[in-house]
């Protein structure tokens, strides 16, 4: 067996993805291709070639925000861990997850709401121009939609929770509000998604913003 370096593995994986997309007759929109390929790479699921939905110019606007040092907030520590720290540092940004914070837990218990709701409220308070990525909690998306309707203006909403209860409804709600208010949004239509998908989308944007889509430029 010939062992390949991480950069070689990633390049070969992307070559296979491009080849299989061609075989399936799928041509990715140029402006969204890097994000879609990265999600397929992370999940081995070609359904994402068709169920990732983007508001106009979402990728361009998000990468511009990252170049300005936008912070990223996630709804799970799993997604947080998957986001490239080195890539964000190159851009002057930081990443956060407030779900396990004591003040979030206390406030959620006192009000009888989910931690995801209070996490969004904390993000709005601390980082009003952040990129907010939800890969798990539909309630986070409902709260984001409400906050946007009352003035919250995030740089991007990543709406990709996975599951069966209120997931599709939450995604469609926040996407609709984002369209109306001209807020960039990337959504995984239907039930599929998850923290892995959220992290993959964020990394694709980080790599594009920092011009390190080639893994060799990341020092691999």
pLDDT one-digit tens code per residue, 141-180: 999 999 999 999 999 999 999 999 999 999 999 999 999 9
Tens of pLDDT along 181-191?
Answer: 999 999 999 99
* For the chain, domain boundaries: 49-214
C-alpha to C-alpha distance for 50 and 194, rounded to whole angstroms: 16
pLDDT of residue 2: 64
What is the per-residue pLDDT for 7? 81
- Looking at residue 218, its pLDDT comes to 66
Q: Encode pLDDT of 78-127 as tens digits.
A: 999 999 999 999 999 999 999 999 999 999 999 999 999 999 999 999 99
pLDDT averaged over the chain?
94
Residue 44 has pLDDT above 60, yes or no: yes
Average pLDDT (19-40) is 96
DSSP lists the bridge partners of residue 53 as 187
pTM, to two decimals: 0.95
Among 41, 67, 90, 181, which one carries the catalytic annotation? Answer: 41
- Report the pLDDT value the prediction gives residue 6, as an integer from 0 to 100: 78
Element holding 95 (H helix, E strand): strand 95-97
CATH no., domain 49-214: 3.40.50.10230
41 counts as catalytic = yes
β-pairing, 185-188 vs 52-54, is antiparallel
Segment holding 74, helix H or strand E: strand 72-74
Q: Please give the backbone phi and psi of residue 171, each rounded to the nearest 5 degrees, phi first.
A: -65, -50
**Mean pLDDT of the region 54-81:** 97
**Alpha-carbon span 41 to 8, nearest angstrom:** 14
Phi, psi of 119 (to 5 degrees): -65, -45
């Amino acid at each position: 067996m010939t062992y390949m370096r991480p950069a070689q593995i990633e390049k070969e994986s992307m070559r296979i993805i491009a080849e299989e997309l061609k075989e399936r007759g799928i041509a990715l929109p140029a402006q969204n291709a890097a994000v879609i390929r990265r999600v397929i790479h992370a999940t081995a699921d070609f359904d994402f070639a068709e169920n990732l939905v983007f508001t106009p110019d979402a990728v361009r606007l998000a990468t511009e925000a990252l170049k300005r040092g936008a912070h990223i907030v996630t709804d799970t520590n799993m997604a947080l861990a998957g986001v490239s720290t080195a890539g964000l540092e190159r851009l002057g940004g930081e990443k956060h997850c407030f779900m396990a914070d004591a003040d979030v837990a206390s406030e959620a218990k006192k009000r009888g709401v989910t931690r995801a709701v209070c996490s969004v409220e904390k993000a709005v308070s601390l980082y009003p121009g952040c990129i907010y990525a939800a890969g798990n909690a539909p309630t986070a998306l409902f709260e984001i939609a409400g906050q946007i309707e009352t003035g919250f203006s995030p740089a991007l909403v990543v709406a990709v929770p996975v599951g069966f209860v209120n997931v599709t409804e939450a995604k469609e709600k926040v996407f609709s509000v984002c369209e109306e208010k001209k807020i960039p949004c990337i959504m995984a239509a239907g039930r599929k998604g998850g923290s892995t998908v959220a992290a993959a989308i964020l990394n694709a944007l980080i790599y594009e913003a920092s011009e390190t889509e080639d893994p060799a430029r990341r020092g691999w």
